[in-house]
Amino acid sequence: MPNLKHFESTMPAWQNAQKPMGDELRWKNNFPHYGQTLLRHANSVPLTMMDLLEFFRPYNQSWNELLLHQAVILHDHGEPRSGGDEDIESQTEGKAVREWEGFAHMVKDYPEPIRQAYLRAFALQYAIKNHDLDLPKEALDLVLMHRELHIEEAWFFEFVECVDYFRSAREGNWQKIRHVHGHEGMFEHVFRNAPKRIKVACANLPLLAEYWTPQLQTEFAELARVDAIPPAFVRRVE
């Protein structure tokens, strides 16, 4: 029977979704003027997932969509509790493990069924990463479970993240935002990095190529080429 103690025991993640996520700036080392916080990302990336789930539904109807939706909502909640957001190209050593530890500590006093659901969803992103030796046993058990039962969902989740980078990059391209340490545009930057991850995801889950078509890649390449040309008006951080 829920009571005040039960009600308040599940407040930490809800609180983390407020100011901590709103204060943490993404792209801060390369495109801070874009101004995307973790809170904005947490609000927009589920829409990218919804769009892609609808796109792939005619091809596949077996993915655990509840797990995917839970994972996409929770996946960045470890960032404010692990030193802040770091771009994937320059993550400090042990960052992913610190995110797990911060997230696990945040939900440690949740009622056990809810705590397990949160940890299970948060662990999905780790199923395709190589942190096995560093993760605590509870995390590793969940990762191994996902590798056995939900590896397609894990690769789809990775694909969603990459497509969402391109959405941010396209918006940054429209705004003519450039890198703080050079002339690189946001779309140019993402096209230089994200396709490497997409190629690996497609190799492990070939179905993803139904979206990552040669035509889309060619059109993205052209956008990146044009984005590499510095515009007359450039938005930078003063």
Q: What is the DSSP string of 82-132?
A: TTS---GGGPPTTHHHHHHHHHHHHTTTS-HHHHHHHHHHHHGGGGGS--T
Domain assignment present for residue 234? The answer is: no
**Separation CA 114–CA 190 (nearest Å):** 36
Q: Which residues of 125-156 are buried (b: 16+ CB within 10 A; e: fewer)?
A: bbbbeebeeebeeebbebbeebeeebebbbbb
As averages over each run of 10 residues, the pLDDT of the chain (238 residues) reads 92 96 94 95 97 96 96 96 71 86 97 97 95 87 97 98 98 94 92 97 98 98 94 54
- Domain carrying residue 180: 4-227
Domain assignment present for residue 163? The answer is: yes
Domain assignment present for residue 233? The answer is: no
Which among 62, 54, 98 is positioned nearest to 78, based on CA atoms?
Answer: 98
Give the contacts of 21 (CB within 8 A, at least 6 positions apart): 37, 38, 39, 42, 76, 77, 79, 80
Query: What CATH number is associated with residue 220?
Result: 1.10.3210
Task: Specify the pTM.
Answer: 0.93
Domain assignment present for residue 62? The answer is: yes
CA distances 138 to 64, 111, 114, Å, are 21, 16, 15
Q: How many domains does the chain have?
A: 1
Q: Give me the pLDDT at residue 238, please.
A: 47
